[in-house]
Amino acid sequence: IDALYEASRAGVPVKLIVRGICCLRPARKGLSENIEVISIVGEYLEHSRIYYFHNNGDPKVYIGSADAMVRSFDRRIESLFLLEQDMLRKQAMNILRYNLKDNMNSYVMQEDGNYVAKQHNGEPPFSVHKEFFDVTRDIISDVKLF
């Protein structure tokens, strides 16, 4: 959390998609005004564990098995690894884009830690869960098992 605050103070935009508890507080002047925290709570418990870093124009994309919590890293066997293949990086980035685009099941954390529904701001309604369901259904419908 301290490293994210430090990045925010340095002017780095930080977007976090969290599923549960988040101890970080966004939008605090002089501390975290460059941090946005959203939570997507819809039909499914599914949530990606994708970490994207701009890295001064040399993007790094990691995926992992763990939620970024102390208990996950200190008391469990988890993995986090760099995606090196361009196709895999693009797929992971598309998943992130879809999650950030969601305006049906997304809630934005306020400075006080409370969440409010994400505003549509003239955008058409979009549910990342519905999108992933539809894409998966289309893929499965083309699979012939026998």
What structural domains and CATH numbers belong to the chain? Answer: 2-141 (3.30.870.10)
The pTM assigned to this predicted structure is: 0.83
- Specify the DSSP element, H or E, that contains 36: strand 35-40
The DSSP annotation for 46-87 comes to ----EEEE-TTTS-EEEEESS-SSHHHHHSS---EEE--SHH
Given a contact cutoff of 8 angstroms between Cβ atoms, the answer to whether 44 and 129 are in contact is: yes
C-alpha distances in Å from residue 98, one per residue of 10, 47, 78, 87, 89: 27, 12, 25, 17, 14
Which DSSP symbol is given to 33?
T
Task: Report d(CA 66, CA 76) in Å as an integer.
Answer: 9
Query: Digits of tens for pLDDT over the chain (146 positions)?
Result: 999 999 999 999 999 999 878 899 999 999 999 999 999 988 777 678 899 999 888 999 999 876 666 666 677 777 889 999 999 999 999 999 999 999 999 999 999 999 999 998 899 999 999 998 998 888 888 777 66
